[in-house]
Structure formats: structure tokens, C-alpha cells
Amino acid sequence: MSCSVIVPTYNRLGYLKKCLASLRNLDHQDFELVVVDDASTDGTREFLESWQDDRVRVIRQPMNQGVARARNVGIKVASGEVLAFIDDDCVAEPAWLGSLLQGFTNEEIGFVIGQTFYARPGYKGYFPERLVSNVGARWPMTSNIAFRRQVFNKCGGFDDFFLQYNNEDSEMAIRAVTQGFDFVREKAAVVYHQPADWTVASLWRSARNASVWPVLKKYYPETYMVFGPPVSGGWLVNGMDYFYILTAPILIPALLLRYLWHGKRDLKIFFAKWPIYIFLRRFYIYKEAIKNRVWML
């Protein structure tokens, strides 16, 4: 089956170069590469203009519109029967694409999820590293996933409403399942998220991610639990937060000592997480539950 690999990018030239270099080294080379530059201003345009490869299609957005719309532009112009997605801050193992394609063993399978490791397998890392991973291919992340084109033909594209929760990929996959598409997890399809650190601003923005669950429960009451989200009993979201809050007088000093032991010294980012991030997350969850009239805590 024909395949297109879609890479949206915005102002991450250093990451993008490593991502594209890894795609050039794939074992399976029969694919079209679609790079959607979402109006970058960091030299990405010039780099892509100098990149010579007949398989590459570069689409430049006239203005920044967000990653969901960038992916949808890629879907529109791509020619493949299967559309594989990798984020610009990830690098692929040589067997990545071939392994994803092998997952489409029958017509009922609408998408295949691969594994994402942070930096390298087995690497634990320490805060404030942003440890993005998907070990076991459990979650439908656009860092490593492939869809049949029929999924988008039937369900539509990524919904940028869910960008505010950083969960437009979760919603897309849940919507596909709701429409009757099956999926498989393909652990042999591996990508690595390149090293990254939290900032206070990015950490606090991420506090809103978990508040997507009241929204998804409202929209997809029968299927929102299909990938095993951090929701207990259908109503308790990220329940460990309550343990952290109750034990904060003991837990936070212990975590601070661990943080300092590992050579970290930025106390601003530490206290941005412990405890501010936890309370922010609870606030957003309660807010969305009330707004959507869904029983969740």
C-alpha cells in the first residue's frame, strides 16, 4: 500500500533536522514525505528550500495556525493510502515505518500505534526534563501513529479545539473508534523523543491536559475509556493528585532533596510543579466538569 509520512513543524529547526535525517535512513524507503511548515521564522523555510529530495513535498503556511491544522493540510495534499505521523522533535528507528505498515493486517484496522521512548530505551530522566514517552504503544500519540486515509474520509481531520488540552490526537483516535475503526499496537515501530526541558510557562500550560476527560466523556461516553486513560471508576481523574496534596508537607521536602541531589538548582521550576501545577490541574478538571455537566473530580 502507498504511504505518506507527514511532519508538521514550527520554529524547531534543530529538532527538525534530526527528524528528517532519521527518515532518510528508514529501511522502508517507498514513501512520500510531506513537511508542513507552519510559518516558521527560525530558518526552517530556508533549510527546507535547500533540501533536495524528489519524494519531499514542502507546504508553507502563510501564517501560524497550530499543529492540528498543519496536520490537516498534510492530509489534504498527501497521496498515500496510509498516512503516518511523526513529530518534528522525534527521530525514527530504521524499522519504524515498515513496522507500522505491517500492522495493517486487515481492512478493519484503521490505525496503528507505535512506541515512543524519551531519549533512549530505559532512560529515566529527572525533572525538569519533559519525559514524553509511550512505552508499549499504549496511547494514540501523533509522535508515532499511522492511519488509513479512510479514517479521515469518514471522520474528518484533527480538531484544533482539542489543542487547548494538547489532546487532539487522543480525540482523533477515540472518534475513529466511535466510527467503527479498529486499531493495533505495534511495539516494533519505535521513535525517540529528543531531549527537552519544561519551562514554567509550558509546565503550567500542560496542567490543562487532564481536563480533556470531562469533555471526552461528554462527547464519547461509550468509547472515551478505550485506551485506558488515568480515570478511575469513570469519574476520578488523576487520583494520585489527592495523595500528593494530602502528603505535601512531607512529600515536597523529600522531592526537593531528591531534586537537589541530582544537581538541579532552579527552585522556580521546582515550586512551579510542587505544588502549583497540581492545584492548577485540579482547578481545570473541576472547571471542565462543571462546564460540561459531567460528574468528574
Contacts with 266 (C-beta within 8 Å, 6 or more apart), sequence order: 128
Domain boundaries, the chain: 3-197, 198-297
Q: Dihedral (C-alpha) 245, 248, 251, 255: value to the nearest 10 degrees?
A: 90
The count of other CB atoms within 10 Å of the CB of residue 201 is: 9
pLDDT digits (tens, 9 = 90+) for 148-199: 999 999 999 999 999 999 999 999 999 999 999 999 999 999 999 999 999 9
Count of CB atoms situated within 10 Å of the CB of 77 = 13
Please give the Cα distance from 286 to 99 (Å, whole number). 40
ω into 275 cis (within 30 of 0): yes
pLDDT at residue 121, rounded to an integer: 84
pLDDT at residue 53, as a whole number = 76
| Homologous superfamily of domain range 3-197 | Spore Coat Polysaccharide Biosynthesis Protein SpsA; Chain A (3.90.550.10)
End-to-end CA distance of the chain: 45
Count of residues in the chain: 297
- DSSP secondary-structure letter at 170? H
Q: What is the pLDDT of residue 133?
A: 95
Phi, psi of 216 (to 5 degrees): -65, -35
pLDDT at 1: 85
Measured CA to CA in angstroms, residue 270 lies from 21, 28, 194, 198, 210 at distances of 35, 43, 22, 10, 20
C-beta neighbour count of 155 within 10 angstroms: 20
Cα 8 to chain centroid distance, Å, stands at: 12
pLDDT at 54: 77
DSSP characters for 207-220? TTGGGHHHHHHHH-
Q: What pLDDT score was predicted for residue 124? A: 84
Sign of CA dihedral 211, 214, 215, 220: positive
List, in sequence order, every residue forming a beta bridge with 231; answer none if it has no partner.
Answer: 237
Per the listing, cell 514513501 goes with: 31
Helix (H, G, I), strand (E, B) or coil at 182: strand
Which of the residues in the chain have pLDDT under 50? none
How much is the CA Rg of the chain, to the nearest whole Å?
A: 20
Q: Which amino acid is at 26?
A: L
CA distance 269 to 102: 42
